[in-house]
Amino acid sequence: MCGIVGILGKEAVAPQIVDALKRLEYRGYDSAGVATLEKGVLQRRRAPGKLRALEDRLRQEPLSGRSGIGHTRWATHGGPSEVNAHPHATDRVAVVHNGIIENFKELKEELADHGVIFSSDTDTEVIVHLVTRELDAGKSPREAVPAVLARLRGAFALAFLFKGEEDLMIGARRGSPLAVGYGDGEMYLGSDAIALAPFTDRVSYLDDGDCVVLTRDGATVRDKDGSGAAVDRPVQKSLVTSALIDKGNYRHFMAKEIAEQPEVVGHTLAHHLDMGAGKARLPEGIDFKRLDRIAFSACGTAYYAGLVARYWFEKFARIPVDIDIASEFRYREPPLKDGGLAVLISQSGETADTLATLRHCRSQGMQIASVVNVPTSTIARESDAVLPTLAGPEIGVASTKAFTCQLATLATLAVAAGKARGVLSDDDEQKLVTSLIELPRLMAETIKLEPQIERLAKDFSRARDALYLGRGTSYPIAMEGALKLKEISYIHAEGYAAGELKHGPIALVDENVPVVVLAPYDNLFEKTVSNMQEVAARGGKVLLVTDAKGAKQAGGEFETLIVPDSYAFVTPMIYAIPMQLLAYHTAVFMGTDVDQPRNLAKSVTVE
C-alpha cells in the first residue's frame, strides 16, 4: 500500500526521500510525489507510474529544500494520475496520506459550500483544505492539525509540512502505521522502519490516535489525536538493516525469498522448539487444556496457512477450529466465547481486516494470539501472545518465505497444544518434532528442483487458465499455488479440493488447461489418482507433484515432479516450494513485474 517518508534534514532531502520511497516500492504503488520547502515556500513534484518518472521530473526541475515529505500512492479514490498523486497542498500546507478518509464526501461538500475548489478526485485533498482553513482562522500548525484530526473518520497515517516552517513536521496515526526516526540533528517519519533503515536505527512507533510534532531536536507525541497529554513512545533499536532489504545476486526479491526458506524456517523452528529435548514450546499465557475451540482468521496467503493449521490442530490437539477470512469473520457474527482464543495470522501485522477482526474478538472478551512477521506491528502490539515468524523482511509482494514460516510456527503450536491437552504422548511429540527438525534440509533439496520447474514453466506461460488440486493439507497448498500463479503471472488459476473436481470445475478441463495435482503418497493418494484419471480422460494436461513412492504408483503416466519423501505432517511446507517456483518462472517467462505485480499492494491497510 501507500508509503510515507518525511525528513527534516541538513541537506537537500528530495534525493533521500526518493531513495527511501524506493525501499517502500515493495508495498505496491502507482504514482509518487515529493514536496519540500524552498526558501519557506512549498514546492511539489509528482508523477504517475513508477519512481523513475518522479526522478525524471526532479531532474528537470530539482528541489533543494532541507525539509520534505514524499509518498508512493496506491490508488483508492481517483485513478493513478499526477493530479491525484500526493503530496496534496495549498500554499500553506502539504500532506501525504496512507489510508482512507471515510467521511470525505460530507467534508468535501462543506468545503465546496465555502468556495473551495478541488484539484483532485482524492479523499486526501479535504485534509489540506481543512487545515488551511484552521490556519487562516489564526491557529498555529500545532493547533490546526488536532482540530482537523478530530473531524476525520477512517484510517490514516499523515505527514504535514507547513509554509515558512523549516523546522517543523507533524505526523498523525489512526489505523495505518507510522514510525518516527531519530537522527543526529535530523528527524524522520516513515510508514515503516524499512523506509528509515539507511538513515537511522533509532525508531519509535506511534500508537493509534497519536499525533507527533517533529523538529530537528526531537519529537513530542500527544495522544487523543494531538489534543491529549504528552506521551512517551520509547525509542527502540530497529533490527531492519539495509543489508536485509537487498536483492543480493538474485534477479528478483521473490527469487531470493524463495531461496531463503530453508534458513528462515530453520530460525523460526529453533525459536519455537526445544530441539535438544525434542519438544515444542508452549507460548506463555495460553492454556490449551481449558479451550473448547479456537477461532483462526487472516487474509490471502496467511489465511491458507490457517487452513493448513486447522488440519493439524484438529488432528493433533483434537480441538475444533473455526476459520474465516478476516474481511468476512466479524460480519458473519459468529458466536464467540468470552475467554476463548482467537489466532490471527499476518506477515505485515498491519492488514486492516485482520486488525479489525482482532479488535472485534477482543471486544468479545477473547484472548488474542498472533502469528506475525513484524514484531513491532500493530497486530503484534495488540496481542496477548505473539508467535513470531522469523522470516526477515519480505519485500516481494507475493508472500513466500513468510508463508512457510507461518506454517512452521503453527505446526509447532499445534504440537504444543496436542501435548498440553494430553492427546499426544511424549513419543508422538518427539516424532513430530523430529520431522520438523528435518524440514529445512528437505526444503533445501526441494529447491534443487528449480531447473526442472523452470522448464515446466515455459509450457505454463502459454496457458490462460490453470487448475490446482489437492486433498487434506494439500488442498490449501493447491489454493496457495493458484493464488501465487494468478498474482504474478496474471494467468487465471483456481485451487480446488480434488474431490470437488467432478462437482463443477471439470467442465473447464481441456488440452489447454494445465492441472497441477499435489499428491504426497499418503492415505488419500489413491483417491487423488482417480481424480487425475478423470482429468486425463478429458484430454487435460496433468502435472503431478508427488514423492518417489507416489511417482512409482502413478506409473509414469503423467508429467511428474518428484519432491523429497517426508513425514505427512511437514508436506505443506515442502509442496509450497514448487508452487512458488512454478509461479515465479512462469511470470519471468511472461515478462511481468514479479516483485510488484499490477494492482497489488504488500501491506493492505484499507478494508
- Phi, then psi, of 548 in degrees rounded to 5: -60, -40
Which of left, alpha, beta for 312 (phi over 0: left; psi -120 to 50: alpha)? Answer: alpha
Q: How far is the CB of 489 from ligand F6R (least distance, A)?
A: 13
From the list 69-77, 316-324, 340-348, 538-546, the region that binds ligand F6R by CB under 6 A is: 340-348
Q: How far is the CB of 389 from ligand F6R (least distance, A)?
A: 10
> Residue 41 CA to chain centroid, in angstroms?
37
Q: How far is the CB of 607 from ligand F6R (least distance, A)?
A: 12
Rounded Cα gap, residues 118 and 112, in angstroms: 8
Q: How far is the CB of 565 from ligand F6R (least distance, A)?
A: 28
Among 399, 531, 546, 596, binds ligand F6R (CB under 6 A): 399
Catalytic residue among 2, 211, 299, 405: 2
Instruction: Please report whether residue 351 would count as binding ligand F6R according to CB under 6 A.
Output: yes
Rounded Cα gap, residues 85 and 46, in angstroms: 6
Residues near ligand F6R (CB under 6 A), total:
15
From the list 116-124, 142-150, 341-349, 582-590, the region that binds ligand F6R by CB under 6 A is: 341-349
Rounded Cα gap, residues 603 and 370, in angstroms: 16
Rounded Cα gap, residues 540 and 508, in angstroms: 9
Binders in 540-559 for ligand F6R, by CB under 6 A: none
Rounded Cα gap, residues 340 and 295, in angstroms: 8
Q: How far is the CB of 436 from ligand F6R (least distance, A)?
A: 22
Nearer to ligand F6R, 26 or 288 (CB): 26
Instruction: Please report whether residue 383 would count as binding ligand F6R according to CB under 6 A.
Output: no
Question: How far, CA to CA in Å, does 491 sit from each of 462, 467, 483, 583?
Answer: 9, 11, 10, 9
Give yes or no: 527 in active site. no
Binders in 253-312 for ligand F6R, by CB under 6 A: 299-302
> Residue 225 CA to chain centroid, in angstroms?
26
Nearer to ligand F6R, 7 or 583 (CB): 583
Long-range contacts of 100-109 (CB under 8 A, 24+ apart): 100/76, 100/154, 100/155, 100/156, 100/606, 101/126, 101/127, 101/152, 101/153, 101/154, 101/156, 102/153, 102/154, 103/151, 103/152, 103/153, 103/154, 104/77, 104/154, 107/151, 107/152
Which cell numbers in the block locate residue 393?
A: 523482511
Rounded Cα gap, residues 14 and 16, in angstroms: 5
From the list 114-122, 347-355, 498-506, 555-563, the region that binds ligand F6R by CB under 6 A is: 347-355
Give yes or no: 458 in active site. no
Coil, strand or helix: which one is 581? helix
Nearer to ligand F6R, 95 or 398 (CB): 398
Nearer to ligand F6R, 300 or 470 (CB): 300
Rounded Cα gap, residues 24 and 196, in angstroms: 10
Instruction: Please report whether residue 487 would count as binding ligand F6R according to CB under 6 A.
Output: yes
Q: How far is the CB of 490 from ligand F6R (least distance, A)?
A: 14
- Label residue 183 exposed, middle or buried (CB < 10 Å: 0-12, 13-18, 19+): middle
Nearer to ligand F6R, 133 or 401 (CB): 401
Nearer to ligand F6R, 74 or 160 (CB): 74
Instruction: Please report whether residue 561 would count as binding ligand F6R according to CB under 6 A.
Output: no
Among 206, 457, 604, 606, binds ligand F6R (CB under 6 A): 604
Binders in 63-102 for ligand F6R, by CB under 6 A: none
Nearer to ligand F6R, 369 or 506 (CB): 369
Catalytic residue among 419, 484, 541, 602: 602
> Among 374, 378, 333, 338, which residue's Cα sits nearest to residue 358?
378
Nearer to ligand F6R, 25 or 487 (CB): 487
Instruction: Please report whether residue 377 would count as binding ligand F6R according to CB under 6 A.
Output: no
Instruction: Please report whether residue 346 would count as binding ligand F6R according to CB under 6 A.
Output: yes
Q: How far is the CB of 373 from ligand F6R (least distance, A)?
A: 7
Instruction: Please report whether residue 347 would count as binding ligand F6R according to CB under 6 A.
Output: yes
Instruction: Please report whether residue 389 would count as binding ligand F6R according to CB under 6 A.
Output: no
Nearer to ligand F6R, 48 or 300 (CB): 300
Among 124, 354, 560, 571, binds ligand F6R (CB under 6 A): 354
H/E element holding 548?
A: helix 548-554
Nearer to ligand F6R, 200 or 297 (CB): 297
From the list 285-293, 344-352, 492-500, 572-580, the region that binds ligand F6R by CB under 6 A is: 344-352
Rounded Cα gap, residues 98 and 105, in angstroms: 17
Q: How far is the CB of 303 from ligand F6R (least distance, A)?
A: 7
Instruction: Please report whether residue 489 would count as binding ligand F6R according to CB under 6 A.
Output: no
Q: In the Cβ-directed half-sphere of 241, how many Cα atoms lie within 13 Å?
A: 3
> Among 569, 522, 530, which residue's Cα sits nearest to residue 550?
522
Convert residues 461-480 into a mask of x (bound to ligand F6R by CB under 6 A) and - (unbound).
--------------------
Q: How far is the CB of 386 from ligand F6R (least distance, A)?
A: 14
From the list 210-218, 343-351, 418-426, 511-519, the region that binds ligand F6R by CB under 6 A is: 343-351
Q: How far is the CB of 53 from ligand F6R (least distance, A)?
A: 26
Instruction: Please report whether residue 348 would count as binding ligand F6R according to CB under 6 A.
Output: yes
Q: How far is the CB of 604 from ligand F6R (least distance, A)?
A: 5
Which cell numbers in the block locate residue 248?
A: 543480493
Q: How far is the CB of 23 from ligand F6R (least distance, A)?
A: 17
Work out the angle at residue 510's Cα, subtended by the Cα atoms of residues 504 and 515, and round it to the nearest 5 degrees.
75
Across-strand partners of 116?
none
Nearer to ligand F6R, 176 or 346 (CB): 346
- Which residue has the closest beta carbon to ligand F6R? 300
Residue with cell 496457512: 305
Which cell numbers in the block locate residue 358?
A: 482482532
Rounded Cα gap, residues 264 and 447, in angstroms: 14
Rounded Cα gap, residues 399 and 597, in angstroms: 12
Number of neighbouring beta carbons within 10 Å of residue 491: 22
Instruction: Please report whether residue 327 would count as binding ligand F6R according to CB under 6 A.
Output: no
Size (the chain), residues: 607
Interface ranges with ligand F6R (CB under 6 A)? 299-302, 346-348, 351, 354, 398-399, 483, 487, 603-604
Active site members: 2, 602
